[in-house]
Amino acid sequence: MRATVPQVIPFEKLARRDVALVGGKNSSLGEMVQTLSAEGVRVPAGFATTADAYWRYIEANHLKDRIAAHLADLAVGKATLAETGQAIRTAFLRGEWPAETAAAITAAYRELCGRAGRTDIDVAVRSSATAEDLPDASFAGQQETFLNIRGDAALL
């Protein structure tokens, strides 16, 4: 049985020590919410999906084996880097969130909407890799950011 790990955590409950749980950007946003809000600086509310939510997505959609197969084809010259990248992106985009994770994301989004006093609000969806802020790693510009995402379906 899998240990209970939250799938989603509000920014106000995060701090820099949570990098392994939610990644560098998200943990920094949590730190900002906690420290700057107390000083009167307005920091947008939000939430982070956890690394566990990511791995549940990978497992639910059998992506680990599919990615390994695509990389094996690349290694022996059966596919180009561009073809491999496209195939892996397509596999990710065709996947579906496990019900528990989708429910947690939707509930967190609904909470944000409620705080704003609106039915739906626009949100930004950003990457926050658990290794992106390490001294020997740089992922700048390698992940996409999606702005003005509105509604449960668009968010998922």
- Cα separation of 99 and 41, whole Å? 36
What are the tens digits of pLDDT across the range 51-69? Answer: 999 999 999 999 999 999 9
The percentage of residues in the chain with a pLDDT greater than 70, rounded to a whole number, is 89
Q: How many CB atoms lie within 10 A of CB 51?
A: 17
- Kindly state whether residue 69 falls inside one of the protein's structural domains: no
Residue 139 pLDDT more than 60?
A: no
- Kindly state whether residue 78 falls inside one of the protein's structural domains: no
End-to-end CA distance of the chain: 26
| Token reading at 110 | 């609904």
Total domains in the fold of the chain: 1
- Cα separation of 93 and 106, whole Å? 18
- Kindly state whether residue 121 falls inside one of the protein's structural domains: yes
- Cα separation of 25 and 145, whole Å? 12
What are the tens digits of pLDDT across the range 83-138? Answer: 999 999 999 999 999 999 999 999 999 999 999 999 999 999 988 877 655 555 55
**Structure confidence at residue 38 (pLDDT):** 84
Among 60, 152, 56, which residue's Cα sits nearest to residue 105? 152
Among 51, 45, 50, 41, which residue's Cα sits nearest to residue 12? 45
Domain that holds residue 126: 8-61+96-155
- Judge contact between 39 and 28, C-beta under 8 A: no
**Structure confidence at residue 149 (pLDDT):** 95
Q: What is the pTM of this model?
A: 0.85
Q: Output the furthest CA–CA distance in the chain (Å, rounded).
A: 57
pLDDT band at residue 11 using 50, 70 and 90 as cut-offs: very high
| Dihedral pair phi/psi, residue 20, rounded to 5° | -65, -25
CATH number for the domain including 14? 3.30.1490.20
**Structure confidence at residue 3 (pLDDT):** 60
| Residue 25 CA from chain centroid, whole number | 10
**Structure confidence at residue 66 (pLDDT):** 96
**Structure confidence at residue 1 (pLDDT):** 47
- Cα separation of 51 and 22, whole Å? 6
